[in-house]
């Protein structure tokens, strides 16, 4: 397996369907963005397919904690950077 990338980063454009009526990224969608980024980053940086791994080993990775800080509104059409970390 390749060496661990300390904090891989993914960029994602915010779509209209992910926003609330004020045009902000809905807080419930933040976790979806993180989970999708994690899957993409694990495939890109560690050459692992989480679905295949789960089927082959009948196991999955467990998320035990989330840390989110809402520093400013993320608006429709903007690009956000998503950083994840394996610990």
Note whether residue 26 is domain-resident.
yes
pLDDT value, residue 85: 74
* Domain, as residue range, for 37: 9-83
> How do the pLDDT tens digits run along the chain, 87 residues long?
566 667 888 999 999 999 999 999 999 999 999 889 988 988 888 888 888 988 999 888 888 888 888 889 999 999 999 887 766
Note whether residue 51 is domain-resident.
yes
Note whether residue 76 is domain-resident.
yes
Query: What pTM did the predictor assign?
Result: 0.76
Domain count, the chain: 1
Note whether residue 52 is domain-resident.
yes
Note whether residue 79 is domain-resident.
yes
Give the span between the Cα atoms of 75 and 51, in whole angstroms: 31
Q: Specify the CATH number for the domain of residue 52.
A: 3.10.129.10
pLDDT value, residue 24: 95
């Amino acid at each position: 397996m390749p060496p661990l990338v300390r904090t891989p980063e993914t960029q994602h454009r915010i779509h209209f369907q992910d926003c609330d009526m004020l045009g902000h990224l809905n807080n419930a969608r933040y976790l979806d963005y993180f989970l999708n980024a994690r899957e993409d980053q694990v495939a890109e940086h560690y050459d692992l397919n989480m679905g295949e791994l789960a089927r082959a080993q009948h196991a999955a990775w467990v998320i035990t904690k989330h840390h989110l800080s809402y520093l400013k509104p993320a608006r429709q059409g903007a690009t956000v950077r998503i950083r994840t970390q394996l610990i």
